[in-house]
Structure 1
């Protein structure tokens, strides 16, 4: 990197670190550490939610997916506004009652303490997988920049995020997420501007070539070429309709049972500000996701015009497609812009990592430690435990990212979608049943959980070649979450039919 790049990147990192130090002096209780005094405006909550949901998956995996295939995996995102409308109307008022801190307090009120622990444990496991994936992705870029061993890139990035997150709590998380969202957008715009400037036909060439090659459609890579998906209702193939259904299930799960999201509900100044934040998130996230998919399409056109061996290898699968944007950044961007785009790449990762570290700490303390292990300690003790757990989570995140580095995976967007589906475990149906039915108790909930876990375990074993090949599965693995939630709801409904109605839902 040039001196200008180093100054831009160094200034960004120093600013983020100083924010963490500043907010550490304002944190005196777990309420400060987890919900920041419950006094945030809607626009701040909204941009923070954007930063949490838009990670290095957006910065690296979305362009990689569009570069290698087309826009099929953007389809699930189109269901976000519908999910937010539903969540704002039915989920939000429930979570705003009282002084709720976590999403899983509702499960105890509805089904009992054991189900609350299950929900908390499920979240912790899923988030550890997520943060490990994100940290691994950003290590690819850091490796390209510095030439350091990728394992060292993982360790150094993980430690940096841990320092300001552990110190500053949710206030550091929210405000750094706002800054990181803006930096992320600026970095992406810089990349697209350079591509358009270098191509002889500019933006028109991107649009015409991409249209001619079918890169802007909802297509799947089959038999060496892009095939438009059908719009049938089928569990066997990735159809457009089923991808929309999958998106609705995933986003409703996100806004009903994901602590990263519910924690923002609880940190808002009022219910109306929380609702405003949800819509700010939706109206910002959709164009940003589309922009980064389009950036991948533009990279395809660029390397069609200016072919190089490395880009061709990323297209045919000889190299990981997630390296395409880092490769472009380091080989095509002028001095100064490289520093800005690298800052954007780090922002993409850190805005998700810091949120998840703090959320896992909140769930561990509020739902498990304070509720079941040490119920009557001083507030200072719980704050100390919260920070200690955040340190432990950071260590596990670094270890998980190293494991991802040595794993043999396909494109990370595919792998992440499947992992989320496998770890979902029917949580959406558990919450929906709790919200809208006055029947059922802990015994019925555990029966539904047991059936869903057996199903999920069977899918995992089959995916790894047990019983029969994953290619012989009676449904596409993308739809594991849909089937799991259907099983959970059916079991809960059947099991609870003979129980009396609860007086209060």
Structure 2
């Protein structure tokens, strides 16, 4: 990195932190601190909701996911617009009518304190882990690429977020996220057009798509509906439209990190418009990020790609006795890539779409995959602790090795801004839930100032815990999958509890509480023993808690509880 990159990176991050702290200092009441004084406009809500979900993992992992597996991951988001509409119709009006600070307050009036506490605790566990991962994700990648100390990176990112989140609460998160999303959009568009400019003469955008399609990277939708496909394929139309809908219903409807974003709206209409804005923009945004990964793939059809994108892997091999074997594999890869490059250059017209051309490219891709797998085996022998799966390193490797001076700093600012925006929302929500659902509910009545200070304290505490989780985390197969897996283990159960509260009035607290405990055990085992793709865990957990609670209720005699006046 050059001096100009450091100036761009440091200036961007410093502006966000100082502006967020200055613009939102001095929240005097809990309403101001947790709900931003209910002043947020719909576009602020929409961008804040989007920034909360779009962590650094999105911009590090998604292009790498497309590079290796193509556009199929886009199916993950098919159910999002459906979920947004349901939340706008059911969840938002209810939360605003009840004037709640957290999503879990309602559960006490519908059930009892223990059910509210259990649900809030499930949220705190999964979101606390996720907060650590959103700090760890950019740290582990930047540490490997730039040689920076991992622990120091975790601490720097965590402390930057804590600074303005503690000082300004929800409003600080929302205000800074608008600018963070602006930086993110700018950086990704710049990267996309620079990649296109790097392609050889005669390779237009449409021809680049043809090249990617010939390698099977443009297969966006998979309508396969078989038992084998449903149980073993992670991303299909059906897992997206069904499992994805339940995941996004749970995430946007019951996860306080998202609920808190639209509870800050000036009105029900502003909150609904903000969430619909997110639903309409999020899908094309994710599609575009995947497309960036596809263009990186096309770029490396004409330029030499490393055998493994993780620089730590290369260092481990170089210092081991397997160096010569690895060099042989590197030469094999170079020969395969040259053969592919020559073939593609001779088929830059539509003939590359023909079955014969696709078959030949598929044959070369198979050789390449085997070569890379052989390299991974050597890396594991050289150092078993090195992460051989390099999906998360693809995009950052391209940035650092191919972008011009200044733009490297901008793209690193994109990654760190995304990490900060997502982590800030998580810390804000964790503190709010801790104070409102656990602390305030179990202590004597205190002053507004006391609760504001308590929320600040818990924001700081959760921030420090997130840094600790980040320092002890380990890299998963793919970071964007890891975050969604963590959510899927808990979200279905939590959504089921809310659906019982909203719609199944004969089920009461004891049945719901017991069913939730049983469901969490089953879902956790389902994930651990890989019974089904993680997206289906959301539907499985939701259906299980509803089914068990409904059955248990017939065996648990309870006195009917009158409906709360707001819901009659």
**Per-residue Cα deviation, 1:362-418 (whole angstroms, up to 9, x for no partner):** 00001110111x2312222212211111111111111111222xx252122333332
1:336, 1:458 → 2: CA distance?
A: 48
List aligned pairs for 1:469-480, cutoff 5 A.
Answer: 470=530, 473=531, 475-480=532-537
Match of 1:241 among 238, 243, 247: 238
Partner of residue 278 from structure 1, selected from 275, 278, 282: 275
Cα offset, 1:501, TM superposition = 7.6
Correspondence for 1:342 among 398, 412, 437: 412
Which residue in 1 is equivalent to 2:224?
230
Contact 1:76/1:245 (<8 A) preserved: no
Query: Structure 2 CA distance, aligned partners of 1:431 and 1:455?
Result: 19
Question: Where does residue 387 of structure 1 map in the other structure?
Answer: 456
Aligned to 2:401: 331
- 1:397 aligned to 2:466? yes
Using the size of structure 1 for normalisation, the TM-score is 0.91
Per the alignment, residue 318 of structure 2 pairs with: none
CA 1:477/1:79 → structure 2, altered by over 3 Å: closer, same or farther?
A: closer
Give the aligned partner of residue 494 of structure 1. 551
- For 1:171-182, what aligned pairs fall within 5 Å after superposition? 171-182=171-182
Q: How does 1:256-275 map to 2 (within 5 A)?
A: 256-275=253-272
Matched, 1:305 2:302: yes
Secondary structure in 2 matching 1:71: helix
Alpha-carbon distance between aligned partners in 2 of 1:231 and 1:351, rounded to the nearest angstrom: 38
Partner of 2:210: 208
2 CA distance for matches of 1:266 and 1:480?
A: 27
Q: Which residue number corresponds to residue 467 of structure 1?
A: none
Q: CA deviation at 1:148?
A: 1.3
| Stretch moving more, 182-191 or 71-80 | 71-80
Matches of 2:179 and 2:226, distance apart in 1: 42
CA RMSD of aligned residues (A): 2.1
C-alpha contact 1:35 1:101 (8 A) present in aligned 2: yes
1:118–1:349 Cα change, 3 Å: same
Relative distance call for 1:143 and 1:229 in structure 2 (3 A) is: farther
How has the CA–CA distance of structure 1 residues 256 and 388 changed in structure 2, closer, same or farther, with 3 Å as cutoff?
Answer: same
Q: CA deviation at 1:98?
A: 3.8
Q: How many residue pairs end up in the alignment? A: 484
Q: CA distance change for structure 1 residues 484 and 319 in 2, over 3 Å: closer, same or farther?
A: closer
Match of 1:359 among 429, 438, 454: 429
8 Å contact from structure 1 (residues 143, 150) kept in 2: yes
SS at 1:57's partner residue? helix
Q: Which residue of 1 aligns with 2:121?
A: 121
SS in structure 2 of the partner of residue 410 of structure 1: coil
Q: Deviations over 1:273-324 (max 9, x none)?
A: 1111111111221111111111111111111210232556797463421011
The alpha-carbon distance between structure 1 residues 153 and 229, as it changes in their structure 2 partners (threshold 3 A), is farther
Superposed displacement of residue 232, structure 1: 3.5
Instruction: Give the unaligned 5+ runs of structure 1.
Output: 220-227, 464-469
1:466 is matched with none
Q: Secondary structure at the match of 2:440?
A: helix
- What is the CA distance between 1:231 and its match in structure 2? 3.2
Quick one: distance in 2 between partners of 1:434 and 1:381? 31
Quickly say closer, same or farther: Cα 1:313–1:177, change in 2 above 3 A.
closer
Partner residue in 2 for 1:224: none
1:33 aligned residue:
33
C-alpha separation in 1, matches of 2:61 and 2:310: 16
Select which of 480, 495, 506 maps to 1:439.
Answer: 506
Note if contact 2:211-2:298 (Cα within 8 Å) is conserved in structure 1: yes
Match of 1:190 in 2: 190
Classify 1:319/1:496 alpha carbon distance in 2 versus 1 (closer, same or farther; 3 Å). closer
Question: Considering only CA atoms, is the larger Rg found in Structure 1 or Structure 2?
Answer: 2
Deviation at 1:20, TM superposition (A): 2.9
Q: How many Å separate the matches in 1 of 2:237 and 2:204?
A: 31
Do structure 1's residue 424 and structure 2's residue 491 form an aligned pair? yes
Among candidates 356, 360, 370, match of residue 440 of structure 2 = 370
Shift of 1:6: 2.1
Q: Could you say if the C-alpha distance between residues 313 and 150 of structure 1 is closer, same or farther in structure 2, counting changes exceeding 3 Å?
A: closer
Matched residues in 2 for 1:27 and 1:408: separation? 38
**Offset, 1:229:** 6.8
The answer as to whether partners of 1:218 and 1:229 remain within 8 angstroms in 2 is no
* Cα displacement (A) at 1:165: 1.1
Q: CA 1:216–1:375 in 2, change beyond 3 Å: closer, same or farther?
A: farther
- Distance in 1 separating the partners of 2:169 and 2:445: 22
The answer on whether the counterparts of 1:95 and 1:262 sit within 8 Å (CA) in structure 2 is no
* Greater CA drift, 321-330 or 425-434: 425-434
1:10 maps to which residue? 10
Normalising by structure 2, report the TM-score: 0.81
In 2: Cα distance, 1:478 partner to 1:103 partner: 23
1:149-197: per-residue Cα shift (whole Å, max 9, x none)? 1222111111111111111211110011111111111111111111100
1:353 deviates by 0.4
CA contact (8 A) 2:35 2:170 kept: yes
